[in-house]
Amino acid sequence: MALPRRGLSNGGVDDEEVTVGIGPVPVEDVVAVARNGARVRISVEARDAMARARAVVEELAAAPTPAYGISTGFGALATRHIPTEMRTQLQRSLVRSHAAGSGPEVEREVVRALMLLRLSTLATGHTGVRPETAELMAALISAGITPVVHEYGSLGCSGDLAPLAHCALALMGEGQVRDASGTLLPAAEALAAAGLAPVTFEAKEGLALINGTDGMLGMLVLAITDLRRLLRTADIAAAMSVEGQLATDRVFAPELQAIRPHPGQASSAANLVALLADSGVVASHRGPDCNRVQDAYSLRCSPQVHGAARDTVEYAATVAERELASAVDNPVVIGGAVESNGNFHGAPVAYVLDFLAIVAADVASISERRTDRFLDKARNHGLPPFLAHDPGVDSGHMIAQYTQAAIVSELKRLAAPASVDSIPSSAMQEDHVSMGWSAARKLRRSVDGLTRVVAIEVLTAARALDLRAPLTPSPATAAVVRLLREAGIEGPGPDRHLSPEIETAFRLVDSGAVLAAVEELIGELN
């Protein structure tokens, strides 16, 4: 399920540097490290906090009384007291055995986000990891060394154990990594080439490095970033469809939105009003001769659907912000003691990851319905069937809608929640798990699918607007049509190879170029 994303997906590091302190990592820093290759440094305050917590761990390690995670086994094996001389082996064995992932490699941006967020928890001073261990993780991120993490292995409870264990394995100089150029090589070689020495984990360190929700959280943060851009772009696509299908803009008036005061709906409707301002196409049928009583739901209700999606994304962002401010580990160093807890359970993150998959599926669904109306001569108000140059000889955008439909169908399947599918593990000690990692993995595919569906709507609507000539589109939608044409997508004409045009439109939507073309002209959308 590995998907290409924007940013330095094939390696490389940037001159930008972010600081990890004892507070939450800002979302923009997560994106900078994950996608733009930003380097990482740890603040002095965070180093001091880690040193204080480490002193607590070392005191407990020297005590005769067993302390979970420090001088005992793990999970269902927690009742065994481990003698001092075997504790280094305990941590080494923990990481090796938990690095049990399988399947395709996870994307570089996900692994970098995961490592940054684990480092952020270490920096809080609640895990008991030595500062030098955290510094090595920061050095790997800054050097562009990315451990190989696999698709399968996390149940999202006790954190993303297997993915995090593969990262911890690299700190030991074991396992496989990719260097800044994307070359696959043994971790020991990559560390040596970067002038770094592997670490030997001491009491509690192996456990602290693998017991977090960082993988699912990193993917949540990236998905929220993408969906915020995509929902504004979906408003642009909807405006182009409303315009191209001779629909009314009156239903988007602010006084009609105010009587149902959902904030996302108001934002989406305001975008549509701004996008359709000064449209010659809309003005052409605004007079008393217009016999259109009501437009189809997919046109008229776009703000209601896009708005509900926005509100759901913002709720997910609230959960992400809380998780970014959390220190997720078990046990934790708190108040001069080490306490067991259940904060590693991924339920809060898993739920919103599932919610966002529903959002992606439904926004894609309404986008596909708007596209389909362009292609049916009984519903497209005077446009040629399938927007074809010579219908019968040419098929126009007929099969582009098939592609949309295939993606929407898959998105509906991906909207089935992962978070309700708990499977017990560790001899029933870990008898209820979140499956948050799985929810995050399918959401990434959902976001990719939504991007492609919106791109096809933009592509089709642009062709329709050209066919409405001599009527002129609004300045905002005309800017999108111009962007497509400048990118090499030709206007209406005989059939040509359509797949490259779809991919070009996808890249323009995915990169934010469509959104930028509009916002440079009319200002920032809501």
Active-site annotation, residues: 68
Report the amino acid identity of residue 44.
Answer: V
Torsion, Cα of 373, 374, 376, 379 (10° steps): 60
Phi then psi for 394, rounded to 5 degrees?
A: -105, 145
Give the C-alpha separation, 178 to 200, whole Å: 21
In sequence order, what DSSP letters do the residues of 29-94 get, joined into one string? Answer: HHHHHHHH--EEEE-HHHHHHHHHHHHHHHHHHHSSS--TTTSB--GGGTTPBPPGGGHHHHHHHH
Which residues touch 369 (CB under 8 Å, ≥6 apart)? Answer: 296, 298
Give the C-alpha separation, 133 to 40, whole Å: 14
Which residues touch 200 (CB under 8 Å, ≥6 apart)? Answer: 88, 92, 172
Give the C-alpha separation, 111 to 256, whole Å: 45
Give the C-alpha separation, 296 to 298, whole Å: 6
Which residues touch 209 (CB under 8 Å, ≥6 apart)? Answer: 95, 118, 122, 129, 133, 137, 164, 165, 167, 168, 171, 201
Report the amino acid identity of residue 408.
Answer: V
Grouping H, G, I as helix, E, B as strand and the rest as coil, residue 381 is: coil
> Are 375 and 397 a contacting pair, CB within 8 Å?
yes
Grouping H, G, I as helix, E, B as strand and the rest as coil, residue 275 is: helix
**Closest-CA residue to 276 (of 470, 473, 460):** 473
